[in-house]
Amino acid sequence: MTRLLITRPLPEATLAAARALADDVVVRPVTDGMTEPEMIAALQDFDVILLTLGDFFSAAVFAQVPGPRCRLLANFGVGFNHIDVDAARAAGIAVTNTPGAVTDATADIAMMLILMSCRRAGQGERMVRANRWTGWHPTQLLGQHVTGKTVGIVGMGRIGQAVARRCHFGFGMRVVFFNRSSLADSGVPATQLDSLQAVAGAADVLVIALPGGANTRHMIGADVLAAMAPHAHLVNIARGEIVDEAALIEALQAGRIAGAGLDVFEHEPHVPSALIEMENVTLLPHTGTSVLEVRLAMGQVALDNIAAFLRGAPLPNAV
């Protein structure tokens, strides 16, 4: 009998499709991340775990289950930095993710944050809601133009390229980017620069579109922030730990950059009070893929990976 654990409530259509795949499907009814005892028990009791962000399957967790029943961690999401993939493989457990399904929705959120941060939309919305708006006047909430400016993209994968297309073709922006490997064709007229600092220095808006994990933790630190122009804005749609949050707060408080638009945070769901209190920071609760069609597509990709595993076929999205 194949047992499948789904660690979060998912759309009903996805759950129905999951129940058609496995003999026994258990849906964890709460929305917070799994505890360590829950993860240990899941590795012992289930053949497949459909997990997501917040379920921290670390090396220490795998070490406590030397002979796991589980043979597949099917991640619901493209980012998998919450899974120690090397430790999973050493335990004989494959890991998959859901690339592609999230690209356009996440790129759309990037554009929203670019516009909200540059045009001070969050500040204006709060002003209206608080009944502090006294009427239009010529110097009210003067922000920064987006059309025709330069966007710097850090990480030119699927999502970075989708952001570049929107910026260039939608807003006539010049695109510069940093990528760890050489990229011959990004799908738009774009210039690859040889350092993060060079991209940061050239950008009116710096967009982070890197995968998370140990290799990118604090990649955007004080040195990169110092290279940015005082009028520039930082937008992070990737993973919170890529940005040194303390360094970002210091740069914002000192006026070394003009603002930030953040959909992710270093210690989610905790958001530092310093960020909350700053009017020039736009904050979203990790909504990059919060579209029903996208969540259904993510679920289908995760289930496709599970179906292939159960058939003994190659995994479509192994990581």
Rounded (10°) angle between helices 103-118 and 121-129: 70
Whole-angstrom distance between the N-terminal and C-terminal Cα of the chain? 26
Q: Alpha-carbon distance 119 to 293, whole Å?
A: 29
Whether residue 75 contacts residue 51, with contact meaning beta carbons closer than 8 Å, is answered with yes
Catalytic residue among 71, 119, 174, 268: 268
Residues 6 or more apart whose CB falls under 8 angstroms from that of 5 comprise 26, 28, 42, 45, 46, 48, 49, 50
Return the closest-CA partner of residue 260 out of 151, 114, 105, 111.
114
Strand partners, 234: 206, 260
Q: Alpha-carbon distance 39 to 82, whole Å?
A: 12
| 286 in active site | yes
Catalytic residue among 82, 233, 239, 295: 239
If you write DSSP's letter for every residue of 190-211 in order, what string do you get? EEE-S-HHHHHHH-SEEEE---
Just list the catalytic residues: 239, 268, 286
